[in-house]
Structure 1
Amino acid sequence: MQRSGRMKKELEMLSKSPPYGISCWSKDERIDLLQAQILGGEGTPYHNGIFTLEIQIPERYPFEPPKVRFVTPIYHPNIDTGGRICLDTLKMPPKGAWKPCLNISTVLTSIQLLMAEPNPEDPLMADISNEYKYNKTLYVENAKQWTKNHAIEKNVSEENPVKAKSITDTGVKRTQPMCDVTNKKARDS
């Protein structure tokens, strides 16, 4: 019962005032399965990419963290090829930092920050972590190529054909979810 009420409030909050560059919605009208999209940040190798994530809400939520994974392939030291994410806010203490006061918005913002600032000291992908630490130029090139191949334009609409639509943004045509992942209202305020 607690999960249901909390999720309704969180989804309403995410709908009315999503964090910049993030959108989230329930999948198939279920409160235990969500889908989110994060816009790759400017100045990162993920810029202009739209990354889809799947979020499973456990029965004991908020006392247990959600299970989050990337559906869109991403080249990142803390995210493996299965989309699993190494992030302390997604783990229970003592090794993790999950607290019941955290929410889906906080989790998605933390993932967005991790995309911008990888943690090579706690990697899931040792080879990408070494590349990040010792040959950052190559890491950036590879991450940009993966973004181009998997998270830009046609690839996004194939992942999520129901939610996607084509828009023109600064003269560049790309696919974006129907929710405004750029959170234009907040940016224009």
Structure 2
Amino acid sequence: MASEGARKARLCHEIKSLFSKPPWGITCTPEKEDIYNALNVRMCGPKGSPYESGVFKLLINVPNNYPFEPPLVKFVTSVYHPNIDSAGRICMNMLKMPPKGTWLPTITIETLLISIQTLLAHPNPDDPLVTEIAMEYKYNIEEFNKKARKHTKEYAM
């Protein structure tokens, strides 16, 4: 288990790094100054995806046992996606503890956010949260793209 001091030092370092060298289209700030339990994220939709014109808000809740336990990440902005449900929950192995997931203490908030942005562009229909959208993605990609673009215009502009 990480000590509170080590946890805070790591989070402080990660947030400063995200602020000084943010990955393309991602900003991340603490909800309250000097308190790193909740982080607000703004993420641009990936270029070339049906989400590219949108800006999505996410909320990260960092557990006391971080980095030995993954953060809880959810979309605040509604997203039409097979791996993101209407409550904003995200189905992604990196957000789950082993043996079902692939979370490792070496994964940073930045790596996690880049992976979520990549998931937006490249859904995993074989591990969906929303089966109907996954089926549409697999068998009618044009319709999926049309609905995802429309949904993005409606909720993420």
Q: Structures share a fold, TM > 0.5?
A: yes
Percent identical residues: 48
- State the alpha-carbon separation in 1 of the partners of residues 91 and 143 from structure 2: 22
Matched, 1:25 2:29: yes
Q: Give the corresponding residue for 2:113.
A: 108
Runs of 4+ off more than 4 Å:
none
Match of 1:3 among 7, 13, 19: 7
Provide the rounded CA distance (Å) in 1 between the counterparts of 2:7 and 2:77. Answer: 27
Deviation string for 1:57-81 (max 9, x for gaps)?
Answer: 0000000000000000000000000
Amino acid in the other structure paired with 1:103: T
Q: How does 1:75-90 map to 2 (within 5 A)?
A: 75-90=80-95
Question: 2: distance between equivalents of 1:136 and 1:48?
Answer: 18
In the alignment, the residues of structure 2 paired with residue 107 and residue 41 of structure 1 have an alpha-carbon distance, to the nearest angstrom, of 15
Aligned length: 152
Which residue identity does 2:104 align to in structure 1? K
TM-score in terms of structure 1 length: 0.79
Q: Distance in 1 between matches of 2:62 and 2:22?
A: 18
Partner of 1:54: 59
DSSP 3-state at the match of 1:128: helix
Cα deviations by residue, 1:147-188 (Å, 9 ceiling, x for unpaired)? 000001xxxxxxxxxxxxxxxxxxxxxxxxxxxxxxxxxxxx
Amino acid at match of 2:53: N
Q: Secondary structure at the match of 1:96?
A: coil
> What SS is found at the alignment partner of 2:146?
helix
How far does the alpha carbon of each residue in 1:79-105 deviate from its partner, in whole angstroms, 9 at most, with x for none? 000000001110000110100000100
SS in 2 for 1:27: strand
Instruction: String of CA shifts for 1:23-56, please: whole Å, max 9, x gaps.
Output: 1000022210001111011210001100000000
2:24 maps to a residue whose letter is: Y
Runs of at least 5 residues in structure 2 that lack an aligned partner in the other structure: none
User: Can you give the 5+ residue segments of structure 1 that lack an aligned partner in the other structure?
Assistant: 153-189
TM-score, scaled relative to structure 2: 0.95
